[in-house]
């Protein structure tokens, strides 16, 4: 993740990312839960020969506004490509080649903007494949060299910390931290914390106040950059791994209770406070990316086009739609490799499904709390946006200026 040296250069505005593959549940669709072996066999039989490549690739920063952004496919044809500006939701027009093997945006991109690219393709046997990437374009010169999230002008949930990532280790932390000032219209005290030599986060003691505006001022050599973002409504989602229910509380009132399936006893979901950092309408989940392999070296799971997926940790925990699990799973059995699954349909096209409702009613920065999981360890504060798992006294102790 990240980039940068001490100061002077470029500040790109983006959110924390990671790969777009994840841990997921292990029951296939049908009237009864199937074994993982059956799911793997089905996945192998249905695997598409089409191979999608998105350039410059997942997590790329400082991408030039005039390219080279393109999507290509081998052993198949692209059927759909969308490129969306994350902050505004605006779709970027693009052109598909006559032979269906490549796509590129029609014009230049905006500076200091995060884009999400989603591609779908089919092979000669009409088997589908999908690919996703989140990239960020270069920002104007003469600012910090680094990456700041959330984006300027965005609206986020109450759990969204301010995160600055540096590609080069920062030795004089006090000097750097003193040139970054974070304040809130709510009057909440905001303090920075260094997780390591490359990452500096800012947060108040408790979640941001709904409706408040957060201002980030960065100064270097007399040059100042100001980034502002707004805190939306409060939404706190609590997953109880014991009861297998998720309670959605908005502005202090419970608005929905959703049956879920979380991590199995062998792969329990992390306990702790997590924050949604990315949203994908569909995503390809493969155990290889998080080191979950069978004895023969094959991935523990390989599920394409998992719908309504939202990232909770950098290590691969998502909350997502599950179309392969029997109805009897949700609210009754914990079956996943660590993710939280909600009932859904293949393709995610049914807006009445619990996963679709939750996706449509969630935003980047919303808090997801997991409790009563069999996992014996608490989520590490620097795993994704797990900042809130650190006690305030310890948080303040990690500042170089307090």
Catalytic residues: 320, 339
Give the residue among 315, 310, 402 at the shortest CA–CA distance from 360. 310
Backbone dihedral region for residue 45 (phi beyond 0: left; psi -120 to 50: alpha; all else: beta):
alpha
> 223 with 143: CB under 8 angstroms?
yes
Let me know if 250 is exposed, middle or buried by CB neighbors in 10 A (0-12, 13-18, 19+): middle
**What is the rounded CA–CA span in Å between residue 350 and residue 353?**
6
> CB neighbours of 160 closer than 8 A, spacing ≥ 6?
149, 150, 208, 229, 231, 275, 364, 365, 385
Cross-strand bridge partners of residue 66: none
- 357: helix, coil or strand? helix
- 79: helix, coil or strand? strand
- 370: helix, coil or strand? strand
**What is the rounded CA–CA span in Å between residue 396 and residue 379?**
19
Backbone angles phi, psi at 228, to 5 degrees: -125, 145
What ranges make up the beta strands (E) of 61-113?
70-74, 77-85, 94-96, 102-105
> What letter does residue 384 receive in the DSSP assignment?
T
> 312 with 277: CB under 8 angstroms?
yes
The CA-based diameter of the chain, rounded to the nearest angstrom, is 66
**What is the rounded CA–CA span in Å between residue 297 and residue 9?**
44
**What is the rounded CA–CA span in Å between residue 115 and residue 262?**
30
- β-strands 367-371, 235-240 pairing: parallel
> What letter does residue 270 receive in the DSSP assignment?
P
R_g (Cα) of the chain, nearest Å: 21
């Amino acid at each position: 993740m990240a980039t940068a040296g001490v100061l002077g250069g470029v500040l790109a505005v983006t959110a924390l990312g990671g790969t777009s593959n994840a841990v997921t549940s292990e029951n296939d669709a049908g009237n009864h839960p199937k074994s993982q072996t059956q799911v793997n066999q089905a996945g192998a039989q249905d695997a598409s020969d089409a191979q999608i490549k998105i350039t410059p690739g997942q997590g790329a920063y400082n991408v030039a506004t005039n390219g080279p952004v393109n999507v290509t496919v081998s052993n198949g044809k692209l059927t759909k490509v969308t490129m969306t500006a994350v902050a505004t939701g605006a779709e970027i027009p693009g052109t598909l080649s006559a032979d269906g093997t490549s796509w590129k945006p029609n014009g230049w991109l905006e500076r200091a903007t995060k884009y999400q690219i989603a591609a779908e393709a089919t092979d000669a046997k009409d088997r589908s494949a999908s690919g996703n990437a989140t990239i960020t374009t270069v920002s104007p010169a003469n600012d910090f060299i680094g990456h700041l999230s959330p984006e300027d002008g965005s609206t986020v949930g109450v759990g969204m910390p301010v995160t600055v990532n540096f590609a080069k280790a920062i030795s004089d932390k006090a000097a750097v931290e003193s040139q970054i000032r974070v304040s809130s219209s709510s009057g909440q005290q905001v303090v920075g914390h260094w997780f390591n030599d490359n990452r500096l986060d800012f947060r108040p003691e408790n979640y941001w106040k709904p409706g408040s505006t957060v201002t980030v001022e960065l100064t270097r050599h007399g040059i100042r950059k100001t980034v502002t973002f707004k805190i939306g409504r409060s939404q706190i989602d609590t997953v109880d791994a014991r009861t297998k229910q998720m309670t959605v509380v908005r502005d202090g009132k419970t608005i929905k209770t959703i049956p879920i399936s979380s991590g199995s006893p062998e792969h329990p979901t992390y306990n702790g406070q997590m924050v949604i950092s990315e949203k994908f309408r569909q995503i390809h989940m493969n155990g290889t990316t998080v080191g979950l392999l069978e004895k023969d070296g094959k991935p523990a799971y390989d599920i394409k086009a998992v719908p309504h997926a939202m990232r909770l940790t950098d290590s691969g925990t998502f909350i997502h739609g599950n179309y392969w699990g029997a109805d009897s799973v949700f609210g009754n059995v914990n079956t996943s490799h660590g993710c939280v699954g909600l009932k859904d349909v293949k393709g995610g096209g049914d807006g009445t499904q619990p996963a679709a409702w939750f996706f449509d009613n969630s935003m980047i920065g919303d808090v997801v709390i997991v409790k009563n999981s069999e996992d014996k360890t608490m989520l590490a504060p620097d795993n994704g946006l797990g900042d809130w798992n650190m006690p305030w006294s310890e948080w303040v102790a990690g500042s170089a200026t307090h």
